[in-house]
Amino acid sequence: MNYSKEAVKDFIYYLQAERELSPNTVDAYKRDILFFLDEVDKEVGDINRDDLLKYISKLQSAEYSSATISRKVSSLRIFFGFHIGEGLIDETPVSNIQSPKLDKKLPVILSPEEIDRLIKIIGDSSPLAVRDRAMFELMYGSGLRISELLNIYKEDIFFKDDYIRVRGKGSKERIIPLGSKAKNALMDYLEEARPILDKKKSSFLFLTKNGNGLTRMGVWKRFKMYLVLSGVMKNVTPHTLRHSFATHLLEGGATLRTVQILLGHSDISTTQIYTHIDRSYLRDIVTTYHPRG
């Protein structure tokens, strides 16, 4: 390794202290930068445009997806931009390098009927089932990311006003309305199940059977189990509930701006993917029901 570890250390501190990014986001940047520097094996100031082009070509040859390559290039733009801002280098080798064109893949969603099947199969026969029903009702009813779900505390629920407080990317807080079904499921959980699970007096809303805060893998495993039991034959993840939330709102007449705010997207272009789903849905309706469809 010929590169300076200080170059990476200073960049990580910048992401944490000045940009106030979440630990997961900082770790992702760190992995991308270290992977690149290990590949080129040069000091930051010695890296040139040809090094970048060779790196991208190597990633393509290794059959990395366009999305992954684009993310890695984006990380490098920020990394070299930081060093220019600090006066450590004069120009960025990433200038005029185009990221691979991303394929616009529409996220798979669950229909309202499929979500009903998924929720109903959970039942309420045990504290964990009551927890899971509340968890998935909340994810679908409020469009939460898993990371947001796992970082909800008891005091973030406001039943009187029917809303919850969540912490999104970059620790940004937002207030989201609490739907009636999610509210009822949460009240059942807090009254019946959580007192049994709360063996360690935790502040987290959702707990394991041992009283610890839930993990991402724990949520994923429970979701997959119920998916199989419900008979829904789609390759989906808990994040699909967020996609479904957004799509069903648009299909019901919500504006794109409203959905953007609810999802916590800083850029409306991120939300626009769901308009494509909505158009597909409308096209299917016309094809199915119109005599000239």
Residue 265: active-site member: yes
Residue 19: active-site member: no
Among candidate residues 83, 145, 194, 248, the one labeled active-site is 145
Among candidate residues 174, 239, 276, 281, the one labeled active-site is 239
Among candidate residues 72, 83, 242, 248, the one labeled active-site is 242
Residue 183: active-site member: no
Residue 243: active-site member: no
Strand partners, 183: none
Residue 150 in tokens: 């796992």
Is residue 108 within 8 Å of residue 205, measured between CB atoms? no
Residue 13: active-site member: no
Is residue 198 within 8 Å of residue 207, measured between CB atoms? yes
Is residue 204 within 8 Å of residue 175, measured between CB atoms? no
Spatial separation of the C-alpha atoms in residues 155 and 144, rounded to whole Å:
17
Is residue 136 within 8 Å of residue 223, measured between CB atoms? yes
Among candidate residues 30, 42, 117, 169, the one labeled active-site is 169
C-alpha to C-alpha distances, 97 to 36, 51, 127, nearest whole angstrom: 15, 11, 54
Residue 242: active-site member: yes
Among candidate residues 117, 265, 276, 281, the one labeled active-site is 265
Quickly count: other Cβ atoms within 10 Å of residue 242's Cβ: 22
- Report, as residue numbers or ranges, the catalytic residues: 145, 169, 239, 242, 265, 274
